[in-house]
Amino acid sequence: MQAEYMLSVVIPVYNELEVLPEFHARITRVLDGLVLDSEIIYVNDGSGDDSLSLLSEFYEQDTRVAIVDLSRNFGKEIAMTAGLHKAEGDAVVVIDADLQDPPELIPQMIEEWQKGYDVIYAKRARREGESAFKKLSAHLFYRLMRTIGQIKIPEDTGDYRLLSRRAVDALNTLGEQHRFMKGLFTWIGYRQKAVMYERDPRHAGESKWNYWHLWNFAIEGITSYSNAPLKLASYLGLLTALGAFSYGLFIVVRTLLYGDLVQGYPSMIVIILFLGGVQLMSIGVLGEYVGRIFNETKRRPLYFINNFSEPRSRRGQAAE
């Protein structure tokens, strides 16, 4: 019997050999329990290990499996995008391969989708296996985005989501190179709903995120959604100009009253260094934006596909 709706599951995969067997077992168990048809779209993001051959095994065993093999490692955001482009389901779930996002949450997400929500995001009630510093920096980042970004990204939320067809279509129209997906998911709007869950520590393998990556991720998020740093640079400039003007006035008055004392080497050096620092920093901020404009104007395709193995269930009639 063919179900009325189809669910696509998109999984970005980068060197996940250790977790994939367990992940695949759990996701298929969940999907088997659904009344919907489904397809499992693995996006191999240029893995350096044998992840791809393992995925090929899944492909042979299960007609629902599809593999998008990217030409190199493009990063998770692009890998997700590639998967979303290939997904044909009425609803699409985006989930990590490392089992930090429990697949068992999918039925609950589907329930909300059937109530008419378009974006159902998993909100973690608790973070385990992560350092206090990572928790704090994540918290501050979300706060910052809510304050200066023009979009309110829900806090404690990863990329684990269920998207309705029209939400996916909306995302697919966005062709920007700098894809801060968490922001884009929110930016498209529509009716959004949270589903709470407890985030588990990584099942096996290592997170590819170090602090440098997180820092760059944060810059990406801020510069993609907010001009606040540019404004900050202008205000900083205004403030220092005001300070310089007042100090200049003070110098003039003092010189008139007491004559030119030829002093002030320390204050001069401090002012020169301070102004130099402010200027360099402001140029740096400008540079961040110019660099992004540069990348966008090249209008390059977001990724290249080495090979796309469509789910066999798509071509044949529905399985069984």
Q: How far is the CB of 141 from Mg ion (least distance, A)?
A: 17
Q: Where are the alpha helices (DSSP H) in the chain?
A: 20-32, 51-61, 76-86, 106-114, 132-148, 165-172, 181-187, 211-225, 228-258, 265-297, 312-315
Torsion of Cα atoms, 207 then 125 then 195 then 162, to 10°: -10
Please count the residues of this chain forming the interface with Mg ion, following the rule CB under 5 A. 2
Show contacts with ligand UDP in window 3-22 (CB under 6 A). 12-14, 16
229 contributes a contact to ligand UDP by CB under 6 A: no
The reply on whether position 15 binds Mg ion by CB under 5 A is no
Q: Which does 161 bind (CB under 5 to 8 A by kind): Mg ion, ligand UDP, none?
A: none
26, 20 contact by CB (below 8 A): no
Q: Is 217 exposed, middle or buried (0-12, 13-18, 19+ CB in 10 A)?
A: middle
Distance of CA 280 to the CA centre of its chain: 29
Sheet arrangement for strand 37-44: 192-199, 119-127, 157-164, 91-94, 6-13, 37-44, 65-70, 305-309
203 DSSP 8-state letter: S
156 touches ligand UDP by CB under 6 A: no
Residue 98 is a binding residue for Mg ion (CB under 5 A): yes
Site string (190-219) toward ligand UDP, x via CB under 6 A: -----------------xxx----------
Among 28, 100, 186, 192, binds Mg ion (CB under 5 A): 100
Rule CB under 6 A: say whether 98 interacts with ligand UDP. Answer: yes
> Which residue number, 79 or 188, has a Cβ lying nearer to ligand UDP?
79
Stretch that binds Mg ion, among 61-69, 100-108, 210-218, 233-241 (CB under 5 A): 100-108
Tell me which residue has its CB nearest to ligand UDP. Answer: 12
96 is an interface residue for ligand UDP by CB under 6 A = yes
Instruction: Decide if 169 contacts 98 (C-beta within 8 A).
Output: no
Check binding of 75 to ligand UDP (CB under 6 A): yes
By CB under 5 A, name the binding residues for Mg ion. 98, 100
Interface residues with ligand UDP (CB under 6 A) are 12-14, 16, 45, 73, 75-76, 79, 96-98, 100, 207-209
